[in-house]
Amino acid sequence: MPAIKSLEELKRVREEALAKKQLKATPGHIQVIVAMGTCGIAAGARDTMKSVLNFIETEHLSGVTVTQTGCMGMCEQEPIMQVVIGDQPKVVYGKVNAEVASQIMKQHVQNGSPVKDYVLPL
C-alpha cells in the first residue's frame, strides 16, 4: 500500500473505504467468497469458483461480488465458501464442490435460503 502523503489523500482513502463498507451493507448486495488457499485449491476450490462464476453468468445475476480469500484454518472442511447478503451475518459453507456451489448459488444467493446441510457451525 502506498504511503499517504497529505490530509486530502487521507480523506479520499477514508471516503473510498466508507463507500465500500456501505456497499457491503446495502440490502440485497451479495458477496460470495471462496477460500483459495493451498489446501483449498488442493481440495478443488478452483472448480468451486468456476461453478460460482458459471452460475452468475448463466443466470445473469447482478449485485453479486465474487472474491477469494486465503487459508481459513479448517483444512478438513475445504473447499470453503462464504455468502454474505447485505448486513446479514455471513454464512460459511464447508465441503463445497462444484455441484454444492451451484446448489448454494441457486438456493441461498438467488432465493435467500441457506443450504443447511453444508453450513459450518462457527
Interface with ligand FES: number of residues (CB under 6 A):
8
Which segments of the chain are extended strands (E)? 30-35, 64-69, 81-85, 91-93
Grid cell 453450513 — which residue? 119
| 112 is an interface residue for ligand FES by CB under 6 A | no
- Letters for 29-58 (x = contact with ligand FES by CB under 6 A, - = none) are --------xxx-------------------
Q: Determine which residue in the list 41, 66, 75, 120 makes contact with ligand FES, applying CB under 6 A.
A: 75
| 72 is an interface residue for ligand FES by CB under 6 A | yes
What whole-number distance in Å separates Cα of residue 99 and Cα of residue 6?
50
What whole-number distance in Å separates Cα of residue 73 and Cα of residue 76?
9
User: Where does this chain bind ligand FES (CB under 6 A)?
Assistant: 37-39, 71-75
